[in-house]
Structure 1
Amino acid sequence: MAWLIPASGVIESYRDNMDGCEGDSPLLDSGKRIIQMPMLRGRQTVSTFSILFASARRSLKAARESEEGSFYEILNCLVMGAFTVEAYMNHLGHIQYGSKFDKFEKSNVWAKYRQLRRSCSLPILGIPDAYPSVGQLLEFRNTMAHGRTENNLIAMEIADKTIPIAIGQSALGWRAFVTCEYAEEGMAAVEALINELHDAAGQGKYPFLTTISGLYSLATIDP
């Protein structure tokens, strides 16, 4: 016998079953040895792009709520937000093209986007033209992926007692982009880009609705 059940609760349900079992339980013999084991089978779908987007949103929320450590939260938001874009394109590419997308998946994100717009009968535009903030976010991701030590020249007028503060707070190089304003603008653009493609591809209006989903069956079998 098997039942369709949600993934959550499978293990706890089994543990609850075992707690307090007597010797005549169908799961235990008189020596309380297990004579039947539950077998979980099914198919699970993990929406990687949705998980990355949720991670970016959580980091941005944390940055808004507390200044302490906010630089690192914003940095994580920017990188995860950029990852979200390409992960979604890979997701939609396989829906639109099936296994034929496997070779195209290795192409750069800029080419993927143009191809997906074409497949969705949208005007052929590049990311910088359609969503400039997403283009900047992806460029930032590339900068961080090939990060290197920077040597920056500093020249500013300051009051004598603020020298340590000024040095620490001067945002030069890639750090100039690690701000809440930039992250909020970038995340809004990421969401808009994905919503547009998702809707145009006939996939509905809620691309981020689920992170992990599936159908499962649970049956008891002899060990």
Structure 2
Amino acid sequence: MHAGGKNQFQNESGFTGLQPAFYKGRRKSFGTGFCHVSADNVALSAPPFRHHHPRGFRMHKDPEVVVTKQRTLHTYSELWHASKCVLDVGLAEPDGCSRQFLSSALLTAFCFEAYMNHLGAKYLPVWKALERLSPLEKMEMLCHEFDVKFPHGMGGRPLQTVDKLFRFRNAIAHGKTMDLNYKTKAMTVKNYQAEHEKMLLADWEVLITNSEFAQRAREDVQAVLTKLHEASGEDDLLFSYGASLHSSTLVIS
């Protein structure tokens, strides 16, 4: 049953909708139809009804849309920003936040190695053969490739901190049960209490009793990565997140 125009119909329940129609160059929206847009035209189709359709009316299948996605992920950037997020939580409430400082330092170490892999894979054709090197050995290869020098070497910042960071990282990554022994001290009844209550700590635990090590690790890792980044001539900003491309294509048959 037609009502009000050749593109409208009324079903048995009295609902008025649209017959499928094709419109060129403009958006159209009538009733409860759905619009699918391309560069030049729009296909409008009526929604499916559960009631019987008028005689002669034929439902059309919704047009197909093909979705594609592509993303370049800079893992080192994600780890760098995660390190800061965790550190900020610890700095906001330092008491009892040794786990936050531990997590931040570890993420900073992971970021350092991920950046070595990023730069090496991009500029050294033989990088796959070098992937089993330690992070510090990878850094030495890249410093040689880009003629990057640090005046104090491993005897001063920033490389001294980076070396300490990876000894810390290895102690955690290859953690073992340890028996810690205290060197006996003779004290008086007036001053023994504070010493008695101190917890015995492993070397790596000492580094996370406050935020100092985690903060210094970030400062010195950033210093190293900045020099390598500038020497390599990278186009992206250091610690950029990468790029993502999403596209949808309407298929009209």
- 1:30 and 1:219 map into 2 onto residues whose CA distance is 21
Deviation of residue 153 (structure 1)? 1.8
For residues 53-202 of structure 1, the aligned pairs below 5 Å read: 53-98=80-125, 100-123=126-149, 128-129=154-155, 131-154=159-182, 155=184, 159-160=192-193, 165-167=197-199, 170-178=200-208, 179-202=210-233
- 1:134 and 1:22 map into 2 onto residues whose CA distance is 65
Mean Cα deviation higher: 140-149 or 150-159: 150-159
**% identical aligned pairs:** 21
Q: 1:137 to 1:214 in 2, by over 3 A?
A: same
- 1:94 and 1:176 map into 2 onto residues whose CA distance is 36
Q: Match of 2:33?
A: 24
Alignment partner of 1:106: what SS?
A: coil
Deviation of residue 96 (structure 1)? 0.8
**Higher RCO, Cα 8 Å, sep 6+:** 1
Relative to its length, the structure with more helix (as a share) is 1
Deviation of residue 174 (structure 1)? 1.8
The structure that has the greater radius of gyration is: 2
Deviation of residue 128 (structure 1)? 2.8
For the aligned residue pairs, the C-alpha RMSD in angstroms reads 3.1
Confirm or deny: 8 A CA contact 1:55 1:80 kept in the other structure. Answer: yes
Unaligned runs of 5+ in 1: 1-19
Alignment partner of 1:26: what SS?
A: strand
TM-score of the pair, normalised by structure 1: 0.76
TM-score of the pair, normalised by structure 2: 0.68
